[in-house]
Amino acid sequence: MSEEETYGSCSYWNTRYQQESTPFDWYQSFIGLKSYFESLIKLQDDILMVGCGNSLLSEQMYEAGYKSIVSMDISPVVIEQQNLRYRDKYPDLQFLVENALDMSFQDNTFDIVLDKGTFDTIMCGDNSQENALIMCQEINRVLKPGGKYIIISYGAPKDRESHFSNACEWKRIDIQTIKKPDSKKSTSVHYIYIMTKLD
């Protein structure tokens, strides 16, 4: 894979979404996550879906009663596809082109930032150490005081936690696990990291 085509680059994702526009959920779908979200997210929370891709998560959360969801991605290709997919069905769902490393949202805007696979993508891209810090700081900035950054990741705590805590001071960092849907082994899990912003 050339430098321009790594997971962290916009061109890689544009090409991928041009070739395959069928909705796809990385790691976990809403069915598996629902009970975790019920204890972490209130229906009235303002939610940012960071690196939404063409996942069904925004649609399925909206149908479950989460009515304030802004979804964004660095790829204009997938955002155009998502806008076409939802503009008639769910016009309240917003899909925006944004870079998680430099977002246009004001400080203290969201109660929840949801990230399924996007921090992992940054960790697999160029300048991963630096960009991981920038991304955490940028998400901390747009969270309201006491808001939560929730990451669903394949990365184990030894490879993730230091990035979260080096980036900024969180009120707390909690870690849960969720069984991989396609695995028979109960030890085969994804991690849910929950970073709470200081009040």
Q: Which residues bind ligand SAM (CB under 6 A)?
A: 8, 13, 25-26, 51-53, 55, 73-75, 78, 99-101, 116-118, 121
**Pure H helices in 5-75:** 10-19, 30-40, 57-63
First to last CA, the chain: 43
In angstroms, give the least distance from the CB of 7 to ligand SAM. Answer: 7
Whose Cβ is closer to ligand SAM: residue 22's or residue 187's?
A: 22
In angstroms, give the least distance from the CB of 56 to ligand SAM. Answer: 8
Whose Cβ is closer to ligand SAM: residue 145's or residue 183's?
A: 183
Whose Cβ is closer to ligand SAM: residue 94's or residue 121's?
A: 121
Residue with tokens 């969201």: 110
In angstroms, give the least distance from the CB of 82 to ligand SAM. Answer: 10
Whose Cβ is closer to ligand SAM: residue 25's or residue 46's?
A: 25
In angstroms, give the least distance from the CB of 41 to ligand SAM. Answer: 16
- The residues, any chain, with a CB within 8 Å of residue 73's CB and separated by 6 or more, are 13, 51, 52, 53, 79, 82, 95, 97, 98
Structure tokens at 127: 């300048």
DSSP string, 82-122: HHHHHTTT-TT-EEEE-BTTB--SPTT-EEEEEEESHHHHH
Structure tokens at 196: 């709470």
Whose Cβ is closer to ligand SAM: residue 60's or residue 68's?
A: 60
Residue with tokens 């070739």: 19
In angstroms, give the least distance from the CB of 87 to ligand SAM. Answer: 19
